[in-house]
Each structure stands twice: as structure tokens, then as C-alpha cells.
A and B are shown apart, each in its own frame.
Chain A
């Protein structure tokens, strides 16, 4: 493969907390940034070294995960404001409950207060034609005061438009389920619970879906590295001594 000879990535978990996208205001991550690159020996800004042998030696695993010292482009997502008839109507209807209308690479999203998500999605479905819930998923940003994003991707057949609705929640918060508006959310929310441990209030069947019921961790949370899974379960049920 000619396009990426970098030998990194395999062994190390994400030890250095990367900055969080999707944060509108400059975050404390900025302050932490100068400290992070310190242990770095050589700037990975040189993708050029063609012989991986030298590059691999000079570039120990931790360096790969640390932030490069080159002044990066904005550490937050470079969003542009999103304005349309839809945003006007929604802003009128929900006011301060919607904190942000933005768009990035031509894709629009809105950020909603957690307790207003269901009314907003309901209004989008019944008043604005967004009748297809494409996906429900989450992203974990351990550094943030509200570390979890829950993202609803909606599509409207009549407008041929796709938007995302985001809420930000704290660990242990229980956002309300969207299954009563879109039946498809049943399995999708169960998967979010399975992977992130976010329990949805009012969900008819809030249990794990892909992992075994007795599994103890929520794998897609950042504190769980790829090697640090439920070793006890693997040992007991699969008879693999190392637990891997």
C-alpha cells in the first residue's frame, strides 16, 4: 500500500487524550496541549521518511499517540452557522433549548438540551417531515465536563435532507428513549447502551444486544483500551487462560 507506511497504532491504546471536536468554545484542552508534545522526539510532520526501519526506531509507540508539536489547524471543529427555514422554525418553537445550529463539510446538525431532544425529534418528524431515523449513536470525550454525545441522524424523504441532532450528557444521565417516536431506535439504543453504558429512560427492553448479558465493561468508552476487555468472562466462558 503506497499511501501509508506508518507502522504505528497497533499496540498502544489511546493514552494521550486527544482534543475533542464538536466543542464550540475554546476548551481547556487548549491549555493542556503545550504539555502533551513534550516527550516527543521527532515531529511526525515528516511523513516522507520512506524507510520505515529508521522511522520505526525513532518513533516509539507513545509518540504516535501524543499530539504532534506542529501548530495544528483549529483544535475544534471549524463549523459554519446553519441557517434555513427549518432552523428559523425550530428556533421559534424551542428557543433556548436548542443551543447551536451548525454545519460542517456541508452536513448540518443541531445541539439540543438533553431533556428537549424528544420533543425536537417529534417536531421534526411530524411538522417537518423527518420521518426516518437513520441511526442513533454516541461518542465519548472523557475530558469534557459532559463527556458523552448522543447523536440522532435523521432523514426526510420529502425534503431529501439529512440532519443530525446531538445532545450532551453526563455520566449516569438517563436520556429519554426515542422508541416511541421511531420504532427503529429500539435496537439502536440498546447498542448504545451496550457500548457506552448510557441507559435510556423508558426503553422497553434496556439490555445488551451484541455482547453477552454478563459482560462487565462498556467497550467503546475511552477508558477501556482495546486489550482491556472483560477478561474474567473470556476465561470463564471460553476457557482462554490469558483472557484475550
Chain B
């Protein structure tokens, strides 16, 4: 919607929120059209972090571009890398070795937990609960330490390579992951004790920012937001990749599609991730960590779209190869960008304070929105 002419109407107020605003989780600017405290409409202004990632991809070789994808959703860099590697492997008609797949699953699920923890901490902070942030950061540190021990980096990990992994797991990797699992589940209980039944938390979140299943599909919204609206859909189950079909886990769903349900879904997803982690760690197949892929990656002429279930929703890579060492076109289908589009739908009729809660449970990372 456009904001033109809104100043002429004396009952409406146009309020600018961001780009420097703590609750927008980065540099999101939202123009709010208000009637008192009620939101009549919103308009997002994005692009402050645009780095032209897709153009850069056309000027790099396939392997050289891999580290760039970590800089999009920097909270879930491992997921980004997995999606990109899978897409290139699809073009090469190659598949990672079983051992590499299992390690990929472990790291990706750890990253999902880390991403959800960062979301939970900052979201609670937005709502006014300061304590969970410190707890979440404390536990997230464990996941980051495992990444650091594995590949030397904590955030922009570049953990995977096209065809498998660069590094073998370190001694004690399984033990670290299992220790994390044992430690982590009671902590989730702790968060839930603080928040789930908390009266203020419930009042602030229930029936705020409702997005039902039909709207979710219409707006292309995926991930926990879609599942909170009652659609039992997870790409790990629907179109399994990297061996996810081997693991036994559930897709948590809720009915209402409000911010409270999205909170519950993410909490349960962390528990399910622990479940996957335990199964994966118990059975990491022996064998090589790299499949036989050429040293110079030169996929035949063709195109492929591969998507994964990133912590925020469907993360897809559409890659067109012209047969040379550099991709002809790389398109990233970012979940944050598409999910953010539904903000206007969710925020209409809400209060200004609710907009903060709605942006929070949309779980956007502006690095991925703007690319």
C-alpha cells in the first residue's frame, strides 16, 4: 500500500519505526499508519543491507561463492551452506557421502537450536522479559563452541563443501553433542517455566498477529509460522534431503496461528531437534567425508531448484549453469523476505506495541531479507 496523501487526513498519523530501532532486529524500517494506537496499515522499507549477493555469485566460481551464503542468514549460516551445497550437488548429479550427510544433519540441527535460541531471547526482550535473553545466550554458546571446535568459526562457519565436508569431526565431537543434548532439554523446560504459563506473556501474545493457514499459503509464508497455523508441513519430511528420512521426529503444529502459537511451535522444534541430534550422533556411519566431485566444479548446462527447511522457513536456491566454472544465475529464495511480506496483513488492526511482537515472531534476519 502507499502512504501518499495520508497527511491530509487529520485523524491519521504516520509514524516511522526504524531503521535504527532495537525491536526491528537489524535495519528494517516500517512506516506505520495509525489511528490513535491502532495500526491502519504498514509499509516496509528494506534494502539497507543489500550487498548484491546474487550478482556476486555470477562472478565467482561455485566453490568461491560458498562462503558468501553464510552472510545472508548469519544466525543460521550452516543452513545456508547446506542449501547451497545441495543445489550444486544436484546440478553435478552428486551426493554427499553417508558420513558427511550425518555430520551435516548434526551441525544443521545445532544451528537450528542456536537460531531459535537467539530468536527466543530477543523476542522475549522485545516483549519486556529480560531474563530469557541471558539464558538463551548462555546455551547458544554451547552450539557455537561446537562449531568453533569443528571448523574454527562460530558464526559464518562455511562448514560444508560441495560434495561433503572439508574437515573430519574432531575427537570428542559425539561426546560434546550428547552432552549438549543432556544439558539442553532441562533448559528448555526452564524457559517454558519462565514464559509459557506466564500471565503477562500470554496476554501479550495470544490472538496477536493471527495468520491463518489460507493466508499463509497465499502469502507464501513457511516454516514455524505456517506450522503454527495448523499446516503440518516441513520440507525435512515432505521432500527429505541429506538423509532426514532416516530420523524419527515429529512436526509440531498449533491451530491458531497467532504469535503465542509461533512461540510454542519453535519451543517444541528445539526439543525435536534434540531428538534428531541424539539419533544422528548415535549412528554416524564410517567412511569418507567427501564424495567424488571434480576438483574444478563445472556442472553441465542446466538448472535446478533445491530448498531446505531452514530455521525460518523454506530456503531455496535456484541455480542456472551455463557449463562454465561460474554460475550463470543464482537465485536465493529467502524465507525471511517472503515471511516479512505478511507483516502488513498481520499488523492491521493491532496496537503499536503488538507490531513489535509480530515482527519478533516473524523471526526475520535482515541480512537475508536484503541479501
Please list the residues of chain A having a beta carbon within 8 angstroms of any beta carbon in chain B: 1-6, 8-10, 12-14, 18-22, 44, 47-48, 64-65, 67, 72-78, 104-105, 107, 131-135, 137, 139-140, 151, 153, 157, 160, 162, 164, 182-184, 186-188, 195, 205, 208-212, 219-220, 226
**Given A3-B293, A13-B59, A210-B371, do A182 and B220 touch, yes or no (CB 8 Å)?**
yes
- 8 closest residue pairs by CB, A with B: A184-B220, A18-B322, A4-B63, A47-B296, A210-B47, A21-B301, A135-B333, A137-B331
Q: Is the CB of A211 within 8 A of B50?
A: yes
Q: How far is the CA of A10 from the CA of B64 in the complex (A)?
A: 10
Complex contacts, B322 vs chain A, CB 8 Å: 18-21
Q: How far is the CA of A126 from the CA of B90 in the complex (A)?
A: 31
In the bound complex, residues from chain A placing their C-beta under 8 Å from that of B199 are none
Report the interface size for chain B: residues with CB under 8 A from the other chain. 64
Q: When the two chains form their complex, are residues A135 and B233 in contact, meaning their CB atoms are under 8 A apart?
A: no
Task: Tell me if B338 and A184 are in contact (CB < 8 A).
Answer: yes
Contacts of B303 in A (CB 8 A): 21-22, 77, 104
Q: Are A4 and B296 neighbours in the complex by a CB distance under 8 Å?
A: yes
Beyond A4-B61, A4-B296, A184-B338: 4 further Cβ-contacts under 8 Å? A9-B325, A19-B323, A21-B321, A74-B300
Cα distance A134–B238 when bound, in Å? 15
Q: Per a CB cutoff under 8 Å, which of B46, B233, B371 touches A157?
A: B233
Helix, strand, loop or mixed for chain A's interface? loop
Question: Interface code B310-349, partner A: CB below 8 Å = 1, 0 otherwise?
Answer: 0000101010111111101101010001100100000000
Number of A-B contacts (CB under 8 A): 167
Beyond A105-B302, A132-B220, A151-B318, whether A226 also contacts B63 by CB under 8 A is: no
Partner of B161, one of A1, A105, A157, A188: A1
A134 and B320 contact, CB distance less than 8 A: no
CB-defined A-B contacts under 8 Å, sample of 15? A3-B290, A8-B325, A9-B60, A21-B320, A22-B303, A47-B296, A65-B324, A73-B300, A77-B302, A107-B305, A153-B316, A157-B217, A184-B219, A205-B1, A212-B47
Instruction: Evaluate whether A162 and B64 lie within 8 angstroms (CB atoms) in the complex, with A3-B295, A44-B296, A205-B2 already known.
Output: no
Question: In whole Å, how far is B273's beta carbon from the nearest beta carbon of chain A?
Answer: 23
Residues in A whose Cβ lies below 8 Å from that of B316: 134-135, 153
Q: For residue B219, which residues in chain A have a CB less than 8 angstroms away from its CB?
A: 183-184
